[in-house]
Structure 1
Amino acid sequence: MPFDDKLVADTITSLASLLGLMMVISVVGGRDPGDPLSRRFLFGLRVLAVLLACRILDWITGLGVFRLATIVAAGLLPLAALLLTEGLLRRHAPLVLKSFAAGGAVLFLLLAMIPERFVEPWRMALLLLFQFGGFLAIGWLVVMRDRASLSSAENRTVERMALSLLLIIPFMITDYRPGLVDMPVRLGGIAILFLCWLTIGLGRAGLGHRDTIAAFAVIALSSVFAGLALGGIDHIGWRGSVQAVVIVLSATLLAVIYNDSVSLSAEKRRESLLKHMAEGDLTDSARFLRGLQNHILVEGALILTTGELGDFDLKVLAAALNQAPVRSMADVHPDSPLDQDTREQLTWLFEKYEATHVLLATSDPLTLVLLKMSALAASAGVEMELRAVQRMAMLISQRERAA
């Protein structure tokens, strides 16, 4: 099969989508592969991956077996999407919709076996109508769902999937040619990459829908600018410019998906102080604090008791740390609201032990934990974890006194 500009652009976009799907499959499969919802989602993602892989191989080799597999996978998409939607909504879809999705999958399994010269282009037109109708019906289920029966996290997940439908439904029309729509490049791959990005984003609870849409808009506008600039430099015309925009957008989305998946993996492996709270020895405060000394983020933490703080004004230190149980070098800045005695005591404490942070571990007797952390390591998240560890140590101490 000759490689023209359309085929090159389609192949690059589809390959980027396939790589994005493989990353998402790895992320979703690593979360909880035994979960029924995860299995449904993985089934849909794998159907999409098979469709893209076989389509690329069909374009490159021209072998009929890949064309057959592409049509079969395309016919399975509404059924896979419906199964996922049922899992997300925790409700059965209407029987007529189930029959439509399952019957369509069987129909296109049979139609895929008929030679192309006998069934085209009406087979592609029928497949387009089937997918379009299936996705519209699924969108209707999502919009009409009983929101009160789902948790806020479940509603958030459903809404993320609905966002991807906003692109999938119009963009998939461009995937059906020749004869139906003459586009310079298929855009279905962009919708798939957007779906992959939304899926990766489900692992980030703080990322809202508005943030996602704004980020996608920035990426899309940047890609349009880059593609048009390339078109203007090489004078490739509007068709070449559209292809350049889509290729740049595909590559950018793939890079973002990869970066987010790596960040999620790193976050999963990260030795946070919360892990110490969950797995540390909570028998007594002394053992809990000794375990903290071995943590990678605060390795070498120094534990000081009342007897080792004889050079300091214990009343001033206790008052300062009861007011704010976690103090850092920033608190002793000349412009800080602390009084002079408190600032001098904390400054001396930090300088004597070359520490950057101090935690109040127990009030009676007074026990302090001094840490040495670089300014780069002391991120906002780590600061919050330090406060959580301090509170845990205080709770253990209070439990010991009550016993």
Structure 2
Amino acid sequence: MSFDDTLVADTITSLAALFGLLIVISVVGGRDDGLSRRFLFGLRVLAVLLACRILDWTTGLALFRFVTIAAAGLLPLAALLLTEGLLRRHAPFALKFFAASGALLFLLLALIPESLAEPWRMAMLLAFQFGGFVAIGWLVMTRDRDSLSAAENRTVERMALSLLLILPFMVTDYRPGLFEVPVRLGGIAILFLCWLTIGLGRASLGHRDTIGAFAVIALSSVFAGLALGGIDDLGWRGSVQGVVIVLSATLLAVIYNDSVSLTAEKRRDSLLKHMAEGDLTDSARFLRGLQHHILVDGALILPAADLGDFDLKVLARALEQAPVRSLADVQPDAPVDEDIREQLAWLFEKYEATHVLLATLDPLAVVALNMPALASSPGVEMELRAVQRMAMLIAQREAVT
């Protein structure tokens, strides 16, 4: 089968979208709840559609054309099922009937040979999908926000953002004989949906951050595609295809990188895990648990008896002001008293420590630990403060009882 430039661009974009879907499926597949199962169903329908569409283009076999049309007809129903789960309420019966009957109709229409069915079948499919997604968008916009949590509303809004691309880009995917475009853009909308889905695992990322990042990626891809088109004199069609190929490849790379980061965060042996699983019945045992933690190097618990070389009053005053001290507190420009700086510097040097935690104030006990600079980060520093606070609370509870 011969490949023209349009088919090559369509295939590359669809392959990128398919790989993006497989990445998201691997991430969502580990969750066992009703909403995740509904989402997985929709993702798998999309993956089957893309895979069979690529095989249809490359082999020309009627079987793959049949599965492609049947899967495309199933998309509004899959999206509606997901929307019901997100909104935690049933959609109107008329909309359910529309989505289900449409899926059945296109399952039957997919049996008609292409020579007899086109372009009216593609036009009907486009109208059906467009109408279904508009109705779903209406459900999302008119939802009862007060009945959903902040996280649920955030998830629904992320899905709504993807509709902003899916609806206009959908038109370019079917080409019902009324127009011609250099490349199908549905794959870009799917990749954006995948990126938004991966981003749901990062609560710190807001909608503005996501839109801003996508704008930067899109503008960079436009610049790269136009530059390539200018260098090779590809014309406007080739330049548009270059932009879309670069954008799809960039989005796929970002999706993969974000999925790896998300998986690493789940596996990360953080200090918060020590707080959740450590022995909370005794402050000494809780602190000794740090000695085997991967982020610190042999944490030393130093009671007052082991601190005979130090001025305990000055050391107690230093740690009472800031229960967690680091090497940054002994730098010349650090805003600390000179006697405190001298005591801390000697403590860090003697025990080859990078951080010191206040364990108990009366009697004084400290924890000295070594955390390599490359392993340290603002998040880890905050976790260290939380561990110290937990140790103090355990010690205070022991003193009361």
Task: Specify if TM > 0.5.
Answer: yes
Q: CA deviation at 1:180?
A: 2.8
Q: Distance in 1 between matches of 2:399 and 2:228?
A: 72
Which residue of the partner structure matches residue 202 of structure 1?
Answer: 200
Q: CA deviation at 1:315?
A: 1.2
User: 1:251 Cα deviation (Å)?
Assistant: 0.2
2:182–2:240 CA contact under 8 A, matched in 1: yes
Name the residue aligned to 2:299. 301
- Letter matched to residue 40 of structure 2: L
Query: In 1, are the aligned partners of 2:122 and 2:176 still within 8 Å (CA)?
Result: no
Map 1:4-403; keep pairs closer than 5 Å.
4-30=4-30, 32=31, 34-177=32-175, 179-403=177-401
In structure 2, how many angstroms separate the alpha carbons of the residues matched to 1:263 and 1:168? 26
Output one character per residue of 1:137-175: Cα deviation in whole Å (capped at 9) or x when no partner: 000011111101111110000000000000000001000
Distance in 2 between residues matched to 1:378 and 1:22, nearest whole Å: 33
For residues 195-216 of structure 1, the C-alpha deviation after alignment (integer angstroms, 9 at most, x for no partner) is: 0000000000000000000000
Deviation for aligned residue 1:364: 2.2
Give the TM-score normalised by the residue count of structure 1. Answer: 0.98
- CA-atom RMSD, angstroms? 0.8
Please state how far the C-alpha of 1:178 moved relative to its aligned partner.
5.2
Moved over 6 A (4+): none
In structure 2, C-alpha distance between the alignment counterparts of 1:73 and 1:367, rounded to whole Å? 66
Q: Is the 8 A contact 1:125 1:180 kept in 2?
A: no
- Measure the CA separation in 1 of the matches of 2:58 and 2:278: 56
CA contact (8 A) 2:297 2:371 kept: no
| Whole-angstrom CA distance in 1 between matches of 2:115 and 2:351 | 83
The answer to whether the 8 Å contact 1:362/1:394 transfers is yes
SS at match of 1:301: strand
Structure 1: distance between partners of 2:36 and 2:29: 7
Cα distance, 1:271 vs. partner? 0.7
Amino acid at match of 1:247: I
Once residues 263 and 112 of structure 2 are traced to their aligned partners in structure 1, the CA distance between those partners, rounded to angstroms, is 45
Alpha-carbon distance between aligned partners in 2 of 1:77 and 1:402, rounded to the nearest angstrom: 62
**Contact 1:24–1:196 (8 Å) recurs in 2:** yes
Work out whether residues 120 and 176 of structure 2, in 8 Å CA contact, stay in contact via their aligned partners in 1.
no
> What do residues 279-317 of structure 1 show as CA deviations (whole Å, max 9, x unaligned)?
111120111111110000013111101100111111111
Separation in structure 2 between the aligned mates of residue 49 and residue 365 of structure 1, nearest angstrom: 63
Q: Is the 8 A contact 1:285 1:396 kept in 2?
A: yes
* Mapped contact 2:99–2:132 kept (Cα < 8 A): yes
State TM-score, norm by structure 2.
0.99
Which ranges of structure 2 fall in alignment gaps of 5 or more residues? none
Q: CA deviation at 1:44?
A: 0.4
Q: C-alpha distance in 2, partners of 1:182/1:245?
A: 17
Q: Alpha-carbon deviations, 1:2-24, whole Å to 9, x = none?
A: 21111000000000000000000
